Each structure stands twice: as structure tokens, then as C-alpha cells.
Structure 1
Amino acid sequence: MRKLSYFIAGTIDGFIAAPDGTYDFFFPYVTGDFLPYLSDTFADTIPALGRTAMGLDGVPNKRYDTVLMGRATYEPGLALGMASPYPHLRQIVFSRSLTESPDPAVEVTAEDPLPVVRRLKQEDGLDIWLCGGGTLAGQLLPEIDELIIKLNPIVAGSGVPVFSADFALRAFDLVESRSFDNGTVVLTYAKSTLATGGELGADGMPLAPAS
């Protein structure tokens, strides 16, 4: 079965964007030895303009073939003329306010994200990349199999959190940690191997399986 992977840049204090939804303050950290790592391991997550600049046009997808995003994640690129930011991927935007797709390569849906993802997981293909934002990630938390955070060495103070959801503890296992010269650390977590699926009670203890 395909995995849902939430691969996102974040600050030390847990934000993925400024209060206005912009995230260009992460761009200066795509430097040094982190750049070749990103272009090799996560080339699928680089938008079309970046792929062209890095000589990645035509490179086959290795990790993901589908990208999911909320309207707030999609719109900054759209404002810059990128109606189809990831043409090498199947692009799905979840929005109740964006009624028509600006580009035929982008699917816009107002459907509940959970059943959509559950259907996608049953299809053949590579894994599914959730690229943001925090509200969509909060809605999809029960289906997130892998959490990969590019932890940048900055503090934002406020902004869009990694997850925007009601309080509910869920356990993940740290499976890899890599640090880079520019201070960025990439942390890879997998959904906990607890028999309960990783959901914890308010006391931090695993919830008992449903009978």
C-alpha cells in the first residue's frame, strides 16, 4: 500500500509558514551540502522552476507521484504565475473556496481529505506527498505514515503550525536524523509500531485497542 508522507520545512519552534502564509524565509537554507541531498533524495518535491534550474527536467520520479496541498499552500505559487507547480506529479488541491482549477493539470476538490487519501493509498504507484498546510495536515493526521521535517535553525515566534488540529497525542518513531553544514536537520519519523496505531491518551499512554 502507498504511504502518505508529510515532507515539510519547519522552524525550531514548529512553524511552516509566516502568519500570512508565506514561507520564503526557508529559501536561504537550501545551500551547501543540503542542496545536493535535496536534489537527489527529494527531487520529486522540487517545483518546476527549481527542477529546470537544477537540471532535473525529465528525471523520473523516485519517491512520490502525487502531491496534496491546501488552498493556502497552493495560492502563493499561483500568485507568481505557477498554476501547475509540480507538473511531474498528480496535483490535488483541497479547497471549499476555490471552485475551479486554474490549470487542467491540477485537481481541485472540496471533498473530505480522509476518504480521498484512503482511496489514493489503494491505487498503484509511488508514495503520496503532503506538502501542506497545517490545517490539511491536521485533518490527515490519522493517515500520515511518515513525517519528514526539514528543521531549519530559525525561530519564528508565530505563524502556521506544522499541525493545526484538536489535541490528540499520536506516537511516531524517529527512524533517521541527518544534519547539514548550514544547520538544517532532517528528521524522519514513521508512524509508531504500537499495536494501537500510535494513538495515545491524554496521559501519554497507548490507548487500548477497540474491542
Structure 2
Amino acid sequence: MARKRKIIVYIATSTDGFIARPDGSVDWLDRPRPKGNYGMGAFYRSIDTCVLGRKTYELSVSFGMRDGYAGKKNYVFSRTLKKAASPKGIIVNEGVAGFAERLHAEKGKHIWLVGGSELVAAFLDSEQVDEFIIHVIHTMIGEGIPLVAPRHRNLPLKLLASKTFPDGVVGLHYAVRKNLHT
């Protein structure tokens, strides 16, 4: 039976597959966005839950998002943080599989797996990622943090949609194939 709530990785990468520079900087993403901001508004309305790793959460806080993503439940996976910068952030220090199964079972909208690389890999290890929406930015940064921690290289995906935006950014929407017959 298909899951009603999907866990979706919605993220931007450089053309060479990195989500950030080695130091975590995403300065290369600072660019004018086209009307519609690559469909972010529609995606944001389709979710009610955000799941972040500690480093991604701390980067969000540094951008002034102390309360996390507005109007959403914000879960932060961390082995070191005892509490979030705001009461609106919920620290998670349990295994991914059980946590994700509970989220899938709850009523609600879809779930945004914001990142980073290690958390995406952990969700993939537990077979909990349903879709990827990747916006490929036409910039190469040479080195950095990959979209997924290096242990995942043979993940079958099914292309659901692709779109080229006026500024040259390419949006790719994939379903994670749970077996080779889907």
C-alpha cells in the first residue's frame, strides 16, 4: 500500500552535485530567482512538517530562522543539541526508521526532508525517502558537501517531471523506486 504522506527531499545542488561548500556555505545560491521561485510556494503549501539535521538547522538559525520554517512542525535530528534555539524546534535523538514510520502514519500533509547530506543518507538507509525534487543550479563549485553522503551510489529513481526555468536552472522530480519493477 502506498504511503499517504511522503517524505520528500527538496533541495538545490550545484551542477557538480554539491549542496554546500566544504565549510557549509551556500553563497553560490545567492542569486535572483524567477517568478514563482522554482515552485517553492506550491511545495511549501503541500507540507506541514520539516526535518533537518543539526548543521542544516544551525545554518537556518544563522539566516534568522530561529523559529524554523513558519507554520510547520520542525524536527531537528541531533546527537549533541539538548534544545532548539526556539520552542518551535523539536530535537530528535532517536533512530530514523521508527521516527519516520510514525511521521508516515500521522495524518497530515507531506514531509520535507530539508537536509543535510548525512541525514538524507540515514533516511535512505532506512528506506524512508519517497521522492527527490532537485533544482540543479548552473554553477560548479568544485568541492563540497554532496547531496547524499557517499555511501549511496546505486539508488534507482523514476523521473516524474523535469522543468527548465528561464534562468537555466533545471528542476528534476524523482520517485525513489522501492524495487526495480515500479
- TM-score, reference length from structure 2: 0.89
Residue 183 (str. 1) matches residue 182 (str. 2): no
Once residues 13 and 103 of structure 1 are traced to their aligned partners in structure 2, the CA distance between those partners, rounded to angstroms, is 35
Larger mean CA deviation between 129-138 and 75-84 belongs to 75-84
State how far apart, in whole Å, the 2-side matches of 1:39 and 1:170 are.
25
Structure exhibiting the larger radius of gyration computed from Cα positions: 1
For residues 39 and 96 of structure 1, what CA distance do their matches in structure 2 show?
Answer: 30
Q: 1:159 aligns with which of 144, 164, 173?
A: 144
Q: Which residue of 2 aligns with 1:66?
A: 49
Percent of pairs identical after alignment? 33
Say if 1:103 and 1:184 are closer, same or farther in 2 by CA, change over 3 A: same
The C-alpha deviation readout for 1:78-107, integer Å capped at 9, x for no partner, is: 234432131211000000111112211110
Q: 1:140 to 1:31 in 2, by over 3 A?
A: same
SS of 1:73's equivalent in the other structure is helix
Secondary structure at 2:30 match in 1: helix
Aligned CA distance change for structure 1 residues 12 and 81 (closer, same or farther; 3 Å): closer
Question: What amino acid is the match of 1:187?
Answer: L
**1:165, CA displacement in angstroms?**
4.5
**Correspondence for 2:27 among 24, 35, 39:** 24
Q: Matched residues in 1 for 2:95 and 2:7: separation?
A: 16
Q: How many residues align?
A: 176
Aligned partner of 2:90 in structure 1 is 107
Whole-angstrom distance in 1 between the partners of 2:63 and 2:14: 24
Q: Where do 4+ consecutive residues of structure 1 move more than 4 Å?
A: none
Q: 1:33 to 1:6 in 2, by over 3 A?
A: same
Question: CA offset at residue 168 of structure 1?
Answer: 5.4
Residue 41 of structure 1: aligned partner: 42
Q: Is the 8 A contact 2:68 2:88 kept in 1?
A: no
Stretches of structure 2 that go unaligned for 5 or more consecutive residues are: none
Aligned match for 1:85, one of 62, 68, 72 = 68
- Aligned partners of 2:121 and 2:152 also within 8 Å: no
Using the TM superposition, name which of 16-25 and 90-99 deviates more.
16-25
Give, in whole Å, the separation in 1 of the partners of 2:17 and 2:153: 17
Unaligned runs of at least 5 residues, structure 1: 45-61, 199-205
**1:94-145 Cα shifts (integer Å, max 9, x gaps):** 0011111221111011111221111100000000001110000000012111
Greater share of strand: 2
Q: TM-score, normalised by structure 1?
A: 0.78
